[in-house]
Chain A
Amino acid sequence: MNWTLALPELVLALSGLAILGVGVLPSRNTYYACSMAAIGAFLLTAVLVLGAPEGTGFGGQIVSDAFSRFTRLLILLGAAAGIALSLDYNAHEKLDRFEYPVLLVFATLGMMVMVSANDLMSLYIGLELLSLSLYVVAAFNRDNERSAEAGLKYFVLGALASGLLLYGSSLVYGFSGTTNFDRIADALSDPAKASAGVVVGLVFVMAGLAFKVSAVPFHMWTPDVYEGAPTPVTAFFAAAPKVAAIALFARVLGGPFGDLAGQWQQVIIVTSLLSMLLGAFAAIGQENIKRLMAYSSIGHVGYALVGLASASEAGMRGLLVYMAIYLLMNVGAFAVLVAMRRQGRAVERVSDLAGVAKTDLGMAVWMAVFMFSMAGVPPLAGFFGKLFVFKAAIDSGLWTLAIIGVLSSVVSAFYYLRIVKVMFFDEPVGALDARSGATTFVMTASGLFTVLFFLYPAPLVAAAQVAVAAILG
C-alpha cells in the first residue's frame, strides 16, 4: 500500500494532534502559539502537497491527482488566511482559546480528504470531519445568543443534509453495487442502462452537496449562520469550505457520474439559475454586511455552477478558476469586515463603513477593488472568473443561463456599488480603529492579486486546465 499518497493529510492530522496536545497543557494562554503553529502546519502541508506523488491508494479510497493538488492548495491558502484573520479579532472578543486553531486544522483536514476522496465512504468521512468542526466554530462565541443560534441551526440543517447525502450514497451503492468512484463510472458507462435508483441516489447526493455549497434551494442556513457566527469564522466559512465543496461537486459529477451528465445537468442548471437570481436580488435590501456577503456568496456559487452546468472541460476549468479567484476576493473582503471595529467594538452594518475613504483610504481602496471585482468589472480578477464560466456556457449552448447570469450580475452590481458609495461618497461617522498587521497583510495580498491578475492570468488557467484533465481523463 502506498501510504505516501496521503502524506500531506497524515502530517496535517499529526500536527493537529500535536497542537491540541500543546494547547491542553495547563500553562498560560497558548492561543497565539497554536495559531502560528497551525499556519506553519498549513505551509508544511502545502509543500508536501506540491511534492505529493500521483495515484490511488488505501484500497481505492483516496486519490492524489492534479485536481486534488490544485484544490488542496487553495483550501490550505484559505485556511491559513482564516487563521490569520482571526488573530486580532479573537483577542479583542475574548475568543482567544487554543481550540479555535485546532478546530480549523481538523476542518482543513476534512476538506483535504473530501477533495481527494475516490469513494463515497471517504467522501462522507471527510465531509463529516469538516462539518463537525464547523458546527463548533460557528458557535464559538458561546456566550453570544446569535452565535449559539448559528451553530445550532447549522448543526440541525447540516445533519439533515448529511442524512440526504448518506441516503443517496446508499441508493447508489444498492443499485450499482459499489461505492468506489472508478467502479461507479464503469457501471454507468452506458447511461441508457443506468437504473432509476442510481439517478434518484444521485439526486440525493447532489442535494446534500448543494447544501454544503449553499446553492438555492438549500441555502436557507447561510444568511443566519454568516450573520451569527463571529466574523473570522464567517470569513473562513465563505472561503475554504466553499471551494472544497464545489470542488467535490465537480469531482463527483464529472468523475463517477460523468456519463449521467444528461441527468444531472438539468438539476445544476436550475440550481445555478436560482442561486444567481437569489444572490442578486436578496442582497439588495441587506443592512448587515455579513448577511449581504452571505447572499453575495450564494450568487457566486450560482456563477460557479454555470461552469459545472456546461458539463464540459472548459466549464470545469472555468469553475476552478472562478473558485480560485472567489477565494482570494472573499478572503480580502472579509479581512476588511474583520477590521471593522469602532472604539473596541466590532461593527457590522453597511452604514458603519461610511466615509472610510476619508479616514482609512487604504482599506477603502481595497474594499472597493473587491466589490468591483465581485461585480465582475474588468480589469479586476472577478471579471475573468465570470468570463470563463460564461464562455463555457455559450459554447455548450446554455443561452438562458448565460443571459440570466449577466443580467443578474448587473443587478448584483447595484449592491456592490452601494458599499463603494457608502465608503467613498458618504461623510464619515467616526474613524474605525487601526487594523492589525495580519489583516492588513491579507487584505493587501489578496487585493494585489485581484488587481494584477489581468497582467498574467496564464499560470492559474494552465493549472486549472491540468487539474480538470485529471478528473475528466
Chain B
Amino acid sequence: MNAAGFPLLTLLTFLPLVGAAFILTQRGEEEVVASNARWTALWTSLIVFGLSLILWFKFDKADAGFQFVEQLDWLAEFGVTYHVGVDGISVLFILLSTLLTPLCILASWDSIRMRVREYMVAFLVLETMMVGMFCALDFVVFYVFFEGVLIPMFLIIGVWGHSRRVYASFKFFLYTFLGSVLMLLAILLLWFRAGTTDIPALFDHAIPPSLQTWIFLAFFASFAVKVPMWPFHTWLPDAHVEAPTAGSVILAGVLLKMGAYGFLRFSLPLLPQASADFAPFIYVLSVVAVVYTSLVALAQENMKKLIAYSSVAHMGIVTLGIFTFNVQGLSGALFQMLSHGIVSGALFLCVGVLYDRVHSLEIARYGGVAKIMPAYAVVFMLFTMASVALPGLAGFPGELLVIVAAWKVNPWVAFGAAFGMILGAAYMLFLYRRVAFGKLTKQDLMGLLDMSAREKLVFAPLIILTIWMGVAPQSFLSFFQASVTALVARHEAALGAARLAGM
C-alpha cells in the first residue's frame, strides 16, 4: 500500500466525478439548482484540494521513484493495468490542478449566469482528467486522460465563450486531436515493440535509434501543439481570447503544462538518442518562440491575446530548459511551469476582474484604473512583475536556472532567451501602464468598484504562492531534485551506452 494508507490518487482523480454526478441529479428551480451546483462544485474541489495536500506533506523528496503507487487489472488481455503514481516531476502539478480548480469555480461565481449546472460539471470533469493525466503510469491510461481533457474544454470554450467561440473551440479541438492521434500511433508502436504500456517498465526498454526518431516526431506532434511551441501555437490566442476567464486560467495554468510534462515524462527518458539529436531543433523553435511571440505580444490590442502570446514565450523557456538535459535546466523548466501556471492563471483572473465590470478586453478601453481600483492595481502589479521575472517573485528562479543551463549548452541560445525576457518586461509593463496608469478619462470607468471580498479570496492564495516561490524557491525545487537528478543520470547513461555501441 502507499504512503497515504488509502488509494489517494484514485480518490483525487475520481472524487470530482462524484461531485459532478451529484450536480447532475439536481432538479428544480433554476436559481436553486445553480446555487446548489456552485456550492457542490466548490466543496468537492476544496475537499479534493485538501486531500491533495497529503501529497505535499507525505511525499518523500529523497526518493526518485514513483510513490503513492496503485495498480489494478484493467485490460487484462492486453496487459494494460490501471497504474498510477507520482514522482518529483508530477507531484506538484497535481497540486497545481487541485488548487486552480476551486479558484476557477470561485472566480466564475457571479460571472457565469447561464447554464451554471453544466459549467460546474464541465469543470469537475476537467479536474478529473487533469489529475488523472498527471498521475497515470500507463500509456493507455495516460492517453485516455490526456485526450479526455478535450471534451470538457471544447464545451467550456464553445458554450460560455465570447463571440468567435465556435471557431476557437473547433480549432482547439481539431488541432490537439490531430497531434494526439499521431501520438497514439507512436504509443501503439511502442506497445508492439516492448509488449507493455507500463511506463516504468518502458523506461528499461531500449529502443533502436532509427525508430526513436519516428516515435519522437509523433510525440512531438502531440506535445508541441499542446505546449504550444512556435509555429504550432496559433490555436492558443484564439482559444484564450474566446474562452471564459476560468477556462483561460485552466488552459494556461494546467493544459499547457501537459505538453511540457509529456516531453519530460516520455520523450526524454524513452527516447534519449532522438531527444539529443533533436535538441538543436528544439532550441531554435524555443528561441524563436521567445523572441517572436514577445514581439507579437507588443503589438496586441487585446489583453487576453497579449497574455496568451506571453504564455507561448514563457513556454518557450520551458522547452528550452527541458532540452538542455542538465539538472539546472530541467529544474528550471519545472519551476517555470509551476510559476507560469500560477502567474499566468492569476493574470487571466486579473483580466477577468476588469472584464466582469466593463465587458471589454480591448486595452484601449481602459486607462487610469489604478485611481479607482487601488487594491486591484496592486494585485495586477504584483503578477505583472512576477511575469517579467522580477527577483523575489515566482517568475525569476525558473528563468534564471534555464538561462544558466542554456549558457552551458550554447551562449547564443541563452542570449536569445534573455533577450526575450527583456521584451517580456517591455510588453507587460506597456500593458500595465496602458491599463492602470494614465488619466482616467473614460466616463464609464469612473464608477468601477474595487475588488470584492470574493475576488480577494481568489487572489490571496495566488499572491502568497507567488511571493513564496520567489523568496523560498528551495521549498519547491526540493520536490524535483531527486527525480530530475535521476532522469539526467539515466539520460546520460543511455547516451553513453549508445556512443559506446557506436564506436
Q: CB distance A425 to B184 under 8 Å?
A: no
Residue A361 interfacial (CB < 8 Å):
yes
Q: CB distance B174 to A410 under 8 Å?
A: yes
Cross-interface CB contact of B151 among A361, A372, A457, cutoff 8 Å: A372
Knowing A383-B147, A465-B77, the reply to whether A414 touches B170 (Cβ < 8 A) is yes
Cross-interface CB contact of B165 among A358, A402, A420, A425, cutoff 8 Å: A425
Q: Mark B179-209, 1 if CB is under 8 A from A, else 0.
A: 0011011001101100000000000000000
Q: Mark B156-179, 1 if CB is under 8 A from A, else 0.
A: 001100000110011001100110
CB B164 to nearest CB in A, in angstroms, measures 11
Q: CB distance B166 to A421 under 8 Å?
A: yes
Docked pose: A375 CA to B148 CA in angstroms: 12
Q: CB distance B147 to A378 under 8 Å?
A: yes
User: Which residues of chain B have C-beta atoms less than 8 A from A424's C-beta?
Assistant: 155, 158-159
Q: CB distance B158 to A425 under 8 Å?
A: yes
Residue B232 interfacial (CB < 8 Å):
no
CB B255 to nearest CB in A, in angstroms, measures 15
Most central of A361, A379, A457 by chain B CB within 10 Å? A379
Q: Say which one of A114-122, A331-339, A388-396 lies at the interface with B.
A: A388-396
Q: CB distance B144 to A378 under 8 Å?
A: yes
Q: CB distance B77 to A413 under 8 Å?
A: no
Docked pose: A317 CA to B151 CA in angstroms: 28
User: Which residues of chain A have C-beta atoms less than 8 A from B150's C-beta?
Assistant: 377
Residue A131 interfacial (CB < 8 Å):
no
Docked pose: A421 CA to B159 CA in angstroms: 9
Cross-interface CB contact of B77 among A361, A372, A420, A461, cutoff 8 Å: A461
User: Which residues of chain A have C-beta atoms less than 8 A from B188's C-beta?
Assistant: 390-391, 394, 402
User: Which residues of chain B have C-beta atoms less than 8 A from A420's C-beta?
Assistant: 154-155, 158
Q: CB distance A395 to B185 under 8 Å?
A: no
Q: CB distance B147 to A403 under 8 Å?
A: no
Q: Mark A384-408, 1 if CB is under 8 A from B, else 0.
A: 0001001100110000001100110
User: Which residues of chain B have C-beta atoms less than 8 A from A24's C-beta?
Assistant: none
User: Which residues of chain A have C-beta atoms less than 8 A from B76's C-beta?
Assistant: 458, 461-462
Q: CB distance B174 to A390 under 8 Å?
A: no
Q: CB distance B143 to A378 under 8 Å?
A: yes
User: Which residues of chain B have C-beta atoms less than 8 A from A394's C-beta?
Assistant: 185, 188-189, 191-192
Residue A417 interfacial (CB < 8 Å):
yes
Residue A167 interfacial (CB < 8 Å):
no
Residue A173 interfacial (CB < 8 Å):
no
Q: CB distance B148 to A378 under 8 Å?
A: yes
Knowing A391-B191, A414-B174, A417-B170, the reply to whether A377 touches B181 (Cβ < 8 A) is no
User: Which residues of chain B have C-beta atoms less than 8 A from A395's C-beta?
Assistant: 192
CB B123 to nearest CB in A, in angstroms, measures 16
- B residues 64-87 near A (Cβ < 8 Å) are 73-78
- B residues 120-159 near A (Cβ < 8 Å) are 140, 143-145, 147-148, 150-151, 154-155, 158-159
Residue A281 interfacial (CB < 8 Å):
no
Residue A271 interfacial (CB < 8 Å):
no
Knowing A394-B188, A417-B154, the reply to whether A407 touches B181 (Cβ < 8 A) is yes
Cross-interface CB contact of B184 among A361, A372, A406, cutoff 8 Å: A406
Q: CB distance A413 to B174 under 8 Å?
A: yes
Q: CB distance B144 to A383 under 8 Å?
A: yes
Residue A454 interfacial (CB < 8 Å):
yes
Docked pose: A387 CA to B144 CA in angstroms: 11
Cross-interface CB contact of B73 among A383, A406, A458, cutoff 8 Å: A458
User: Which residues of chain B have C-beta atoms less than 8 A from A368's C-beta?
Assistant: 155
Docked pose: A45 CA to B424 CA in angstroms: 71
Residue B450 interfacial (CB < 8 Å):
no
Residue A450 interfacial (CB < 8 Å):
no
Knowing A402-B188, A417-B170, A425-B158, the reply to whether A361 touches B118 (Cβ < 8 A) is yes
Q: CB distance B174 to A379 under 8 Å?
A: no
Cross-interface CB contact of A410 among B158, B181, B185, cutoff 8 Å: B181
Docked pose: A177 CA to B158 CA in angstroms: 63
Q: CB distance A406 to B185 under 8 Å?
A: yes
CB B178 to nearest CB in A, in angstroms, measures 5
Q: CB distance B173 to A417 under 8 Å?
A: yes
Q: CB distance A406 to B181 under 8 Å?
A: yes
- A residues 337-352 near B (Cβ < 8 Å) are none
Q: CB distance A410 to B148 under 8 Å?
A: no
A-B contact pairs, 16 of them (CB 8 A): A377-B177, A378-B143, A390-B185, A391-B78, A391-B191, A394-B188, A403-B185, A406-B184, A409-B181, A413-B177, A414-B170, A417-B154, A420-B155, A421-B166, A457-B75, A462-B76
Give 4 nearest A-B pairs by CB, closest first: A406-B181, A378-B144, A394-B188, A379-B144
15 additional contacts (CB under 8 A) given A317-B77, A377-B151, A391-B78: A368-B155, A378-B148, A379-B144, A379-B148, A387-B184, A406-B185, A410-B174, A410-B181, A413-B174, A420-B154, A420-B155, A421-B166, A424-B159, A458-B74, A465-B77
